[in-house]
Structure 1
């Protein structure tokens, strides 16, 4: 399994669209910045057939340090939940079969 970086993705999109790399980089970064801003506001982001991003608050809890067995208070924190869309599910299932 390979890792695809933002730079590699920008290069691919620039090649596919025949746009300058600088323009594609600005669009991709603007898109990511907007996603971060909306999720930080607590908004839900839905992209048909791709998936849904939701901002959730994980409740505070008491955990345990496995080495010392001491109890540790873990404060509540905001996380992002992603639920994949129909098209992504189909593509991933096809990839598993081949």
Structure 2
């Protein structure tokens, strides 16, 4: 089951004892800060938890899903990535 943004905000509010409005502002600020750092080409690292970073994906040939015999060129792109840290990996396992 996936956790929605609203459910995440409610969980943050419950864990911190703050209002949902304050928790929503904190979550939005976190997401905005990570987004700004990635746009600038920086990475965001939380020791033990993980690292948000960007990577370059080269241009490549793909297949049109509506017509599998048709090849299409997929442009190069910079994409966001998340690498889980050791503490998070242990917690999940």
Q: TM-score range by the shorter chain?
A: 0.7 to 0.9
Identify unmatched segments of 5+ residues in structure 1: 94-98
Equivalence map 1:52-67=2 (5 Å): 52-65=51-64, 67=67
Q: How does the TM-score come out when normalised to structure 1?
A: 0.84
Displacement, 1:68? 4.3
Give the alignment's Cα RMSD to 1 decimal: 1.4
Runs of 4+ in 1 over 4 A off after TM superposition: none
- The number of equivalent residue pairs is 92
Identify unmatched segments of 5+ residues in structure 2: none
C-alpha distance in 1 between matches for 2:58 and 2:30: 29
Q: When you count strand as a share of all residues, which structure comes out higher? A: 2
